[in-house]
Structure 1
Amino acid sequence: MTPTTIVAAEAPETCCTPAESAVSAQEVVRMAAVFKAMGDPTRVRLLSLIAAGEQGEACVCDLTDPVGLSQSTVSHHMRILTEAGLVERAQRGKWAYYSVVRPALDDAAAALRAF
């Protein structure tokens, strides 16, 4: 039997063309904060309650009973949603009122569609 000579094909210098991100690095960080804020079931529930509220807003005092949490815990969740840009806060006397920032939700949906 005659030995067979195997010739290795030349390997390309790179395995593939580097992919370009659909979103900028800055946008990735911002959207990660938004998705992290929405990654908690309580915060999603709070967003839903606020959106369904009269005139698209809700007082923090009206959010505690539906989620079964103390006012301070609800305020903590609302701070996270506010920092993520998903809600806006307005102080009226001693109560804080929140409204959903619809463009922020639209941006989050658009970011997912970009993938």
Structure 2
Amino acid sequence: MDWSEHYNEGRGFRRLGAEEKGLLVEHAPAPEDGRALDIGCGTGELAVYLASLGYIVDGADFAQGALERARAEHAGVKGVRWLSLDVELDDLAEDGYALIVLRLAIAFILDRTRVLRAPT
């Protein structure tokens, strides 16, 4: 599947729901200066929500169409950095994250063991 084409055609995935938001608020409150990584961020809805909770967020996707939409749709949002990154192939040269989310993305990762065990 060509994911950039998917996003360039205006398509997306299921919207972030109230229950999901509530679970994040309850179970993953942002620590002071807490960093979050949203793997497979798509158009950025979750990354932006995490930023609203106080996280400094890296929204990562390998689909350029997704990142283009995320940048355009959330241009004024502070606290989110949009990264072109394939978590199966690329390394993160970062100091780590307080929270890593893979909302709706885990099913598309072929080497889940390597990705989930990789140091971040």
TM range (shorter): under 0.3
Give the TM-score normalised by the residue count of structure 1. Answer: 0.26
Give the TM-score normalised by the residue count of structure 2. Answer: 0.26
Query: Quick check: which one's helix share is greater?
Result: 1
Query: Which has the higher Rg, Structure 1 or Structure 2?
Result: 1
